Amino acid sequence: MSADAPGSGHGGPAASHDVVDLIRAKRDGAALPADAVAWLIDAYTHGRVADEQMSAYLMAVVWRGMASDELDHWTSAMIASGERLDLSGLTRPTVDKHSTGGVGDKVSLVLAPLVAACGAAVPQLSGRGLGHTGGTLDKMEAIPGWRADLDPDTMRAVLADVGAVICAAGPGLAPADRRLYALRDVTGTVESIPLIASSIMSKKIAEGTSALVLDVKVGTGAFMTSLADARELARTMVGLGTRAGVRTEALLTAMDTPLGRTAGNGPEVTEAVETLRGAGPPDLVEVTVALARVMLDIVGLSGGSGARPDPAEVLASGAAYDVWRAMVAAQGGDPDAPLPSAAFTRTVPAPADGYLSRLDARALGIAAWRLGAGRARKEDPVSAAAGLRWHATVGEQVQAGAPLIELYSDDEATFPRALAALADAVSVTDEPPAPTPLVLDHIR
């Protein structure tokens, strides 16, 4: 069965291909040429290739992978399926950051205003949470009045005025990825480094930023649990960005232990604000500052001249907090409004005296999800108040019976399953564990 050639008005490639032949070719390990890739993406985006056919092709990619040139063609075709934003009129250099997702990862909320306070423009196009990892937009929507959906002109205006924006990617950016991601989610084809890399990078390249820094999480609370896999994903994305003309670097950061002291939506906003006011937890500050330094360096706003302040000093000074307030207000939010509070709480005590040697990120992420902070499907609602706060992190002393983890929910019925997720999340030892680095590698 052959799909029809693209019709007029779609802007697709003229040559037609037989989709079954393409599936067979990929099944047998062939690398598709540029015209075949462009045709396949265009035909699927406009409904001329059926879901079951693209599902078969994606599964072949999971098993066979993609050659470097082929992945470039695939990503370019996804970008070409929609529009590209033009940020060239801004007076500041543009640099964005993308995280592959973790537990307690509220870095974007602190990082965007911090880097803007240091002189760059940060077009932080973000997403929503799924499963045990949180989503930046879900967190920001805990702020009364705040809007995620901005049209391109409004986004550019906020960037020009404030220097930072956190918003949703518009429907015109890489629409092929939206269809492909939904299909991958229900066909067991998410776990493929070429498909993950092209999904992320197609949207980031299309947003028009001149530079990009990737935070690739590694550990039990991340999608990439293996350092080798995380390094391969980082190198693949850095290569895609660089070859597309976007200066791209990546940090690999640890995610066996959750970041900061909170997981959830409103709870993480509260912690982000505390950090912007100079009182953040050391691990969150360390990762945020490390990413900020790379972002500034990649656009030429750092160096030994002393003309540019160090991000750590800017964060401690509170200057980034002023940018945060302006950014929230520019997107309709009230930075002074109280955040929603949960109707019910529960407490998990420390099991013994000693040093906390393990606080499993995945277990805490699942608990927060079950309390209502996350979603199993993209269309599920989330609670702004649900989540967790832990009073100690790995390496710190705890006392038996003292409160260790607080659970927040609007529904008491969520507590049993959340507590079950935490049953084996904590270990306490007589001696403190050996310290481990937060930043594991830098891919240039």
pTM score, two decimals? 0.93
The residue from 81, 198, 199, 409 that is catalytic is: 199
Whether 13 has a pLDDT exceeding 90, the answer reads no
> Which candidate in 46, 184, 231, 293 is catalytic?
184
| Residue 75 lies inside a defined structural domain of this protein | no
Instruction: Quickly state the pLDDT bin for 3 (edges 50, 70, 90).
Output: very low
Q: Are residues 299 and 361 in the same domain?
A: no
Phi/psi zone of residue 13: left (φ > 0), alpha (ψ -120 to 50 degrees), beta? Answer: beta
DSSP 7: P
Q: What is the pLDDT of residue 303?
A: 59
Residues 322 and 356 in one domain: no
Higher pLDDT, 85 or 306: 85
| 98 has catalytic annotation | yes
**Quick one: 322 and 256 in the same domain?**
yes
Which residue range(s) make up the domain with 363? 344-429
User: pLDDT exceeding 90 applies to what percent of the chain?
Assistant: 87
CA 130 to chain centre: 11
Set 97, 98, 139, 389: catalytic member:
98
* Candidates 203, 247, 261, 293; catalytic one: 203
CA distances (Å), origin 45, targets 78, 244, 432? 9, 22, 54
Position 417 in a domain: yes
For the chain, the domain total comes to: 2
pLDDT at residue 1, rounded to an integer: 36
Catalytic site includes residue 177: yes
- Within a domain: residue 353? yes
248 domain-assigned: yes
pLDDT grade for 182, boundaries at 50, 70 and 90: confident
Task: Check which CATH number belongs to the domain holding 362 and give it.
Answer: 3.90.1170.30
For residue 302, being part of any structural domain is answered with yes
Question: pLDDT category, 128, cuts 50, 70, 90?
Answer: confident
Q: Is 199 a catalytic residue?
A: yes
pLDDT of residue 374: 84
Helices (H), 299-435: 311-317, 319-330, 361-368, 415-421
Residue 255 included in any domain? yes
Among 42, 105, 138, 177, the one annotated catalytic:
177
What pLDDT score was predicted for residue 15?
A: 67
